[in-house]
Structure 1
Amino acid sequence: MALVMVLKNMNYDDIAMIDAGFWAIYRKIKLQGGIFSFKNHEYQKEWMANDTKRVCYMKATQGGVSEVEILRSTHGLIFKKYKQGVLVFFPTSDDVGDFSKSRWNPLILANPEYIGRYVRAGSTTGKGKGTDTTFLKKIGDGFLYLRGARLSQSLDGSEKVSSKISSIPVDRCVFDEVDFMDEAVIDKALGRMAHSENKEEVYISNPTLPDFGIDKIFKKSDQRHLFRKCECGELTCAELSFPECVKIRPDGTGYIGCNKCGKEVGFADSEWVPAERDNTGYMRGYRWSQLSSIYNDPAEILEQYNNPPHGLGDIVRLRLGLPYVATEDKLSKDRVYECCGPYMMPTSSMSQCAMGVDVGKMKHIVIGERTGRDRYDILKTIRLSKWEDIHDIARSFNVKFAVIDIRPYEDEARRFQKAELYKIFLCEYNDSSPTSPVFNADGIVKVNRTEILDATHRLIIEQTVKLPRRSAELDVFVQQLCNTAKVLETNKRNNTSIYRYREVGSSGDHYRHALNYFYLAASKIGIARSNQRPRQKQAINENTKM
């Protein structure tokens, strides 16, 4: 109410200085599709008026989110809200070039009076060549930095940095297509706002996988959905009511029907409603789908959802704005628990065992034995912080062969490798060329990352690995096994596609990689004889006593 009273006492020029949406309409800002307007884009009103520190958009394609954030950034630079500057990130430098040429430059050229005249020549030091370039633009007194989110090589094997952002101070960071960015780049970029009074964060992306990227960010927000009000008073959200909300007219076209009375509901009376109001102070989050666009027929979306022309994933992600993973590309907890037997984890073993170790500040260890040509029993899953503790448990389980993650602490891993009496190889993943595991004479085993993850995926699906009975530690193991998902990635430069596994969720995937290393190590030991394995019977007897 106070803001309304202030605006009533201001002229249009003054209002345009503080309200990006009003400025875009008042100045008739020209976009590629015509003069900016909220007509047929009513859902964008709240986006343009948003003044929170953090906002995220989990969206389908063609919703106009990027254009909205372009205008908000430009408006803030022109009217000195972002005095230090704005940093906009894209997945690659090629994406930066495409976006700059197709979006930013046409916007500047089409609006010479209200945008173009604020784009100035000069450099960051006031000398040298002009800054109206693909990657850098000076707008007003601030700078617009356009960068690709690729990291340079690691320093000391543990921390990756990007020299392109190391000395940039900004007030606002926009991450466009965040699902295709390294999380480390996001953390580094946010550090560029340490001296800012504003510190605005914007996350935009078509979703890819559940609990990954924009979906993980959206879950931390207040999770807003667009609700439409029917004449009967009922509120209907197309995104949350799909597919039941789609009704078909006699001519075959579709519309969104009221959840209560079934009548068509439009956008005349609509509002964004947060599902998690307690999170509003931290971040506003918007999920938008093509069901909320007048330019898309709901009947067509429904038909493609029921009969996807090129796989369901594209329809769910790009038209409905939801993450998606096929059941065959990600393990489920239920499927992993099906591999559990009745025995508890033993404290030792007399049979020869293999061990896999994923290295971090906390080491994740998987120990087990080979029981057949391609069959395995996992005896122990445990997390330890000290190398000497790994030595002790390896001795207790008669470990004869181990594979250990070579990074990020290569020197420590090599010292441990040299000190132990059993055979140890350090593992290097190969993301490019397919290859069978190669155990080199220098104590390094090289393996294709996707192929080894495929192999341990099959262990669970085909139930050729047995796990101990459920326990608190096994629950952690199971969760982390499910924290990877297989996706098809396309290299835009050479137009090639390759399957890769991505980490999803927030609890890590360390045990999944420890299982990979165990699987490699187990291939180098013999098959355990049944008379060497009394621990199952002992464990069952112990369970009976409990």
Structure 2
Amino acid sequence: MNKIQEVTFKNHLLRLRAGASQATALTEVSKWISRNTTINGRNFSYKNHEYQPRILDSTARECVIRKCSQVGISELSIRKALALCGMIKEFTVVYTLPTATLASVLVRTRVNPVIEESAYLKGMLTGTDSVEVKQFGAGSFLYMKGAASSNAPISIPTDFLVHDELDFSDPLVISQYQSRLTHSLYKMRLKLSTPTIPGKGIDSAFMQSKRHFNFARCNHCNHYFIPDYYDHVKIPGYSGDLRDITKTRIHTINHTEAYVECPKCGKKPNLAPKYREWVCENKDENHVADGFQVSPFDCPNLITPSYLIEASTSYTNIGEFINFNLGLPHFSRESVLSPDEVQGVIVNSYHEGSAFTVMGVDLGKTCHITIARCSFDGAMQVVHIEEVPLAQLKIRYREL
């Protein structure tokens, strides 16, 4: 048997093994990934990301991940999508990102390398192979799509929807994608994102799930707690608020020696995997989805307290640090108008026969303001439009 025949035979055996295990496929995704995909020439490993198998092997129909950045969640979701295409016959995955451009970049930089380095997946790749659609075997497909208003959801049945960076995707388009699951036996969904404001996007989905947190057990006193940046990160010789540390004064603080402190015994707990445990805080609630909060403390060998302190000084808006580096929702008055602020500029002018003026604001890095004159017969006339940088919005809306 020559080299090509040997590889072909091995791939055939892998397909047979995967096909025979479809009934238990959803509980063995993490094992399948480590057996059949590689990274840097070696079998994929969960080293330094030991929290991931519990998320991958969730059997819930829907999974929600509220996360911080740079902890391997996008890599996890890509490999799960590819694994299910390889494990289950006639299985269709639609993977979305905020824009089609981001989706195509992800294919070239993340998806294609995983397939190229996997003898099994590469051997299954047949027929269509583009940046938008990939076919595995006779009837399994992976679609990579944008979730912007100009990208209509594909009109084909889908078994598994993955919405990456949910909070930065068009919510109307996301809702339209849900109808693609109607005729599927699986009806699976995975939502993942760094959060933005409380009660919206991924935070809303997380709150409507069985919420899991990766608890730490102090190796000194056995106390269980969820590591928290502002409550548990301590700096020798510094007793102030971590929020007060800025780029101009960080050099005066011994932040390189920062550590996580046990809230019970005050010692430094070991955050290694053997002292960690996923715990559901609302297991008796009847939610369809499993939710997982992924924090920087779930990768203690990669993200240190010292790094987090340095990162916190790089933002002009502390809300962005809390969102991206801590993976938590945060309402920031620096970038969002509160309901009270909006109500405060509404003038009641309900006089019969009179007209009134309304203002609409499309929020973004550049905000688009439209002002219209309205009458009580339903007529509306736009009288003013302009673009305003987000940083100047509050000043300008008050002026208008």
Q: TM-score range by the shorter chain?
A: 0.7 to 0.9
Deviation at 1:201, TM superposition (A): 0.9
Deviation at 1:42, TM superposition (A): 1.1
Once the two structures are superposed, the pairs formed by residues 521-536 of structure 1 within 5 Å of their partners are none
The residue that corresponds to 1:25 in the other structure is: 34
Structure 1's 147 and 230: CA in aligned 2 closer, same or farther, altered over 3 A? same
Given residue 400 of structure 1, which amino acid in structure 2 is its aligned partner?
S
Residue 117 of structure 2 is aligned to residue 110 of structure 1: yes
The residue that corresponds to 1:315 in the other structure is: 321
Given residue 88 of structure 2, which amino acid in structure 1 is its aligned partner?
K
Do the aligned residues in 2 keep the contact of 1:90 with 1:176 (CA within 8 Å)? yes
Residue 188 of structure 2 is aligned to residue 200 of structure 1: yes
Match of 1:253 among 233, 257, 265: 257
Structure 1's 26 and 163: CA in aligned 2 closer, same or farther, altered over 3 A? closer
Instruction: State how far apart, in whole Å, the 2-side matches of 1:224 and 1:430 are.
Output: 32
Q: Can you give the 5+ residue segments of structure 2 that lack an aligned partner in the other structure?
A: 1-16, 237-253
Deviation at 1:49, TM superposition (A): 1.0
Match of 1:73 among 76, 81, 95: 81
Match of 1:178 among 161, 166, 169: 166
Given residue 270 of structure 2, which amino acid in structure 1 is its aligned partner?
V
Instruction: State how far apart, in whole Å, the 2-side matches of 1:368 and 1:455 are.
Output: 26
Aligned length: 354
The residue that corresponds to 1:235 in the other structure is: 224
Match of 1:86 among 89, 93, 118: 93
Instruction: State how far apart, in whole Å, the 1-side matches of 2:317 and 2:358 are.
Output: 38
The residue that corresponds to 1:212 in the other structure is: 200
Deviation at 1:255, TM superposition (A): 3.1
Residue 348 of structure 2 is aligned to residue 368 of structure 1: yes
Given residue 402 of structure 1, which amino acid in structure 2 is its aligned partner?
F
Do the aligned residues in 2 keep the contact of 1:47 with 1:68 (CA within 8 Å)? no
Structure 1's 443 and 284: CA in aligned 2 closer, same or farther, altered over 3 A? closer
Given residue 274 of structure 1, which amino acid in structure 2 is its aligned partner?
C
Residue 273 of structure 2 is aligned to residue 276 of structure 1: no
Q: Can you give the 5+ residue segments of structure 1 that lack an aligned partner in the other structure?
A: 1-11, 122-130, 153-161, 341-365, 370-393, 406-426, 465-518, 520-546
Deviation at 1:313, TM superposition (A): 2.9
1:493-524 C-alpha deviation (Å, 9 max, x unpaired): xxxxxxxxxxxxxxxxxxxxxxxxxx8xxxxx
Do the aligned residues in 2 keep the contact of 1:56 with 1:284 (CA within 8 Å)? yes
Instruction: State how far apart, in whole Å, the 2-side matches of 1:434 and 1:197 are.
Output: 43
Deviation at 1:37, TM superposition (A): 1.2
The residue that corresponds to 1:445 in the other structure is: 382
Structure 1's 455 and 278: CA in aligned 2 closer, same or farther, altered over 3 A? farther
SS in structure 2 opposite 1:137? strand
1:363-414 C-alpha deviation (Å, 9 max, x unpaired): xxx7724xxxxxxxxxxxxxxxxxxxxxxxx6xx334113579xxxxxxxxx
Instruction: State how far apart, in whole Å, the 2-side matches of 1:245 and 1:205 are.
Output: 24
Instruction: State how far apart, in whole Å, the 2-side matches of 1:30 and 1:106 are.
Output: 9
Larger Rg computed on CA atoms: 1
Match of 1:135 among 132, 136, 140: 132
The residue that corresponds to 2:64 in the other structure is: 56
1:89-122 C-alpha deviation (Å, 9 max, x unpaired): 11111111100000111111111x221111111x
- What fraction of aligned residue pairs are identical, expressed as a percent? 26
Given residue 271 of structure 1, which amino acid in structure 2 is its aligned partner?
E
Residue 253 of structure 2 is aligned to residue 299 of structure 1: no
